[in-house]
Structure 1
Amino acid sequence: MSVRGCLLVGIEGTHASGKTTLVHALTAHYRERGLLVDCTGEPARTSPFIEEIVIHGKGVFDLPTEIDLFAMQLAATLRAARHHRLLVCDKTVVNVLAYARMVLSAPPGSHNAQVLAAMAGFCRAWAPDAYDAVFYLPDHYQHPADPMRAKVAHLQAETGQAVSDTCADVGLPLIDVPGGLDTAGRVAWIARRVDPLLTEVTG
């Protein structure tokens, strides 16, 4: 189901799986074909909360940080979808939920647990109908020295599993992209599955 006539395609996977590179390559692919297309960025890259924690070493991952990321992911998606035919999303809002579940302490009955449950309820109600297709990247790359990744490099496998499990939990289907493809191969593989969806939406 498209959002205001805009087809939403999500790109999922753990960090350093090539999501952002692929998002931009897919966007370029469809722009070259004359389609009105845009992509969302990664909210963590512009979050002042994440900057404090990761770059400046102040504080920890807490509930306000995760709520901010959740809201940013939603807002970026909805605002970009208003004026485009296709939107390629760097992660889905479910990814934010998965990561929040990993980093937050949430004993049963606690405030954190209640908010996470509310986020999960929203994802169940919204995400399966909002995203027209979500592609999961299985590869785990070694990333260069990146201050945004340094504190979570050891969680790469755990994050990938958390994303898969959380998508299953909220009912968001994932389409597994074959491993070992380069960016051009990934674009071609995904485009063969997105093109029919574009035809359906345009009628």
Structure 2
Amino acid sequence: MSVRGCVLVGIEGTHAAGKTTLVHALTSHYREQGVLVDCTGEPARTSAFIEEIVLHGKGGFDLPTEVDLYAAQLSATLRAARHQQLLICDKTVVNVLAYARMVLAAPTGSHEEAVLDAMAVFCQAWAPATYDAVFYLGDTFDQPADPLRAKVRHLQAETADAVKAACAGVGLDLIDVPAGLDTAGRVAWIARRVDPLLREVTG
């Protein structure tokens, strides 16, 4: 597990579950402890493809969009982990697979099906052996401030099911964070489980 001695922690959940808020709060917590820590952003937030589709209503979700997000998620994780003891990831690469399966039409025998199957095989080989722990947020917040999230809030339940199914399908275990915790409570709960992983790496 880990990437070059960097502990990889993923934060998963559906839209407006508080993932990004938690990622930054955890990163701040560990920086205060003197840990060399960084976090990855969510590639969809800076994707030119997603901006055109969601904010400007141009085009739709297609295979190039999903492959770009998949590659960006992997690249961001690998590059950020290089000089850290701990990396906290806003979603995992399996999440991208889940979304791609949800939004793409992939008829049997199609190019789309072949690519999604290849992404799944890679996830199965990569994710369980690379992420040291992946925490799942089951709570959602009804009024997300982020316009990207507000536009797709109606997909919360479908997205939650898709993410859980994709993770199970590739053998990536999810650790459910108790419902009803505020951000500080989530940080404390997760930190109690991440600290032993850090000790294994840092001694």
TM category (shorter chain) comes to over 0.9
- Residue 106 of structure 2 corresponds to residue 106 of structure 1: yes
3-state SS of 2:12 partner? strand
One-letter identity of the residue aligned with 1:148: L
| Counterpart Cα distance in 1 of 2:87 and 2:68 | 21
Cα gap change, 1:33/1:51 in structure 2, threshold over 3 Å: closer, same or farther? same
Q: How many angstroms does 1:202 deviate by?
A: 1.8
Q: What residue ranges of structure 2 are gaps of 5+ in the alignment?
A: none
Structure-1 separation of matches of 2:163 and 2:17: 12
CA contact (8 A) 1:36 1:86 kept: yes
Is this contact kept in 1: 2:15–2:159, CA < 8 A?
Answer: yes
Distance 2:202 2:146 in 1: 41
Q: Tell me, in whole angstroms, the C-alpha distance in 1 between the residues paired with 2:145 and 2:4.
A: 40
How far 1:145 sits from its partner (Å)?
5.0
Aligned length: 203
Task: Write the letter of the residue equivalent to 2:103.
Answer: V
1:59-78 Cα offsets, whole Å, 9 max, x none, are 00000000000000000000
Q: Deviations over 1:41-72 (max 9, x none)?
A: 01001000001101111000000000000000
Q: Is the 8 A contact 2:7 2:201 kept in 1?
A: yes
Aligned to 1:189: 189
2:50 matches 1:76: no
CA drift at 1:150: 3.7
2:138–2:177 contact (8 Å) kept in structure 1: yes
Contact 1:54 1:147 in 2 (8 A): no
1:97 & 1:16 partners in 2: Cα distance? 19
Identity of aligned residues (%): 80
Code of the aligned partner of 1:165: A
Q: CA deviation at 1:146?
A: 3.5
Q: State the alpha-carbon separation in 2 of the partners of residues 3 and 150 from structure 1.
A: 34
Cα distance, 1:152 vs structure 2: 1.6
Please give the secondary structure, in 1, of the residue aligned with 2:28: helix
Structure 1 residues not aligned, in runs of 5+? none
Q: Distance in 2 between matches of 1:50 and 1:113?
A: 21
Q: For the aligned residues, what is the CA RMSD?
A: 0.9
User: Is the partner of 2:88 in helix, strand or coil?
Assistant: strand
> Counterpart of 1:6?
6
2:128 is matched with 128
Where 2:197 maps in the other structure, the secondary structure is helix
Q: Secondary structure at the match of 1:57?
A: coil
SS at match of 1:172: coil
